[in-house]
Structure 1
Amino acid sequence: MPYLAMLQQNYPFTFRFLNTDLHFRQKPCHHIEHSLRQLITNRRKCAETRTTAIIPGSEQSLFAKVQRLDSFKSKVRITLGTPQRNGRFDWPLEELQNMLHAEERGIETSALLGFGYTRSGLGLAQDYFLITQLLEDHIDGKKWLAEHPGQIETFIRKAFQLLDSLTSRNISHMDFWVGNLMQPTDGKGPLKAIDFENCFSRSTPYLSETLGFQLGFLYHREIYKLITEARYDSLVREFLRQKPTVSMDNFNEVYQVSKHSHLGRKERREFFLQGRLMLG
């Protein structure tokens, strides 16, 4: 049975409007259905590749992420639910899989409640929808730190705890930066991870290099504005003392690069797959 057909067994309620089919764990309420119709109608007029939207509901609001597929081959693969030649799925399906794996393994995140896509005139997937629980009592780390810069070290330590939780469950989040870490608005409790598009949900033989990338990337995206590099390095060493199996030579080689270099999402994956950055 194709992957998407198997997945739909766990999302048995289908909402249809115009040329869009969305599959849900539970039947959406009338307020959600009304909001979905508005979202789908507005999306047809939108030229942006990616959009996000809050879907208000009577008891629970949802969050939608919509991505337009950029190639004919991608549209065919996603319509059929088949992988690329390298065995990986296209980005929207990878994110869907990774979100399910993270949720199944007890990661602090927002639950995936629905998914689906809009079909083109040829019947191929065109816009892909991922619909999750709205974390109404949370705020993303970038906004939180802008309002609470004095809490930077507490936030970093909580980020390290979340990263450790992900790693111990064989989830390698390769876009681990403050904008993808959700902080409770009252400042209490653990962080939650979101945006699992660029992510692996299996173990890697290059754990030291992958951690080196993740911790360097966390510093490179926003954190460097709020803490000295020396102090951040000190917090990283404190964290790594709990991980005696990490090779510090391998870790540092990648850590120093990722702290000071912009790396695209495909480049980031090389630390997980190869243990090094493949250039050229």
Structure 2
Amino acid sequence: MKKIIAITGPTASGKTSLSIKIAKKFNLEIINCDSTQIYQQYNIGTAKITKEEMEGVKHHLLDFLPPEEKYSIYHFQKSARAKIKDINNPLFVGGSGLYLKAALFDYELTPKPLMPQNVCEQDLQKMLAIIKEKDPQLVLDTKNPLRIISSYYDIVSGHLRSQKTKKNVPLYSLLIFYLDIDRKELKNRVVLRLEKMLNEGFVEEVKDIQTNFPQANFNIIGYREIKDFLEGKYSITEAKNKICQKTMQYAKRQKTWFKNQLQPVVVDALSPSLEKKVFQLVFDFLHKRS
């Protein structure tokens, strides 16, 4: 079974720095697992690693998608698993838990259908009737048209949604680290990093994306608030406060999700012996017979 290592944790916990050290020491290639860093142009506000910071380590699924292109967890699953086949020693890095789980665990995903423009209530009722006939065990929100359409297309393509695996079964031999960090220290880092982003031109970056890619995704923490600031909805101080608040809320949800869903090896991001401990665990994992 192929061995895969992953570094996860909240934003500003030190994932990037640690991942480069691990990759260089053990000759690994990094697969990005941050759903915002896949996009081009979104650089400062996503804290995307720079070429200099990579220190020669090869990165995949990073900075490759045009800002206005749609990309789902289904597409990431396909891309990531293809990369896993091609790379001898992959190291996943990022805080997008669903992306990581979709890539590494036994989940079958299907493309998300676009909402047809001409679907009427009668069409939805016909779809529901077929769903109930073909997949009677499926529990479905009948008031959600997109769910109805998605389930219907699953059936016509030969998949029963109720039978899709829900088991937490890994496809590979995994060593997943979660960088835990004191909440007070994390908040200090978030505040300092935001100031650094603003000094490096975060506002100008958002302005450029708005101008050149009007259909781009602004539903990203930081980008949404700066966009609202540019449109006069907030002062810059209010925007900064909202960014920090939402970042901390997201970090709290990340911690709960990762610990419950992936059962990672939890390591203290502030420990002086962090590198030594992680290096030893990685060495033992890579040299252990499967």
Indicate the structure with greater strand content: 1
Q: TM-score, normalised by structure 2?
A: 0.24
Larger radius of gyration: 2
Q: TM-score, normalised by structure 1?
A: 0.24
Indicate the structure with greater helix content: 2
Name the structure, 1 or 2, with higher relative contact order (CA <8 Å, separation 6+): 2
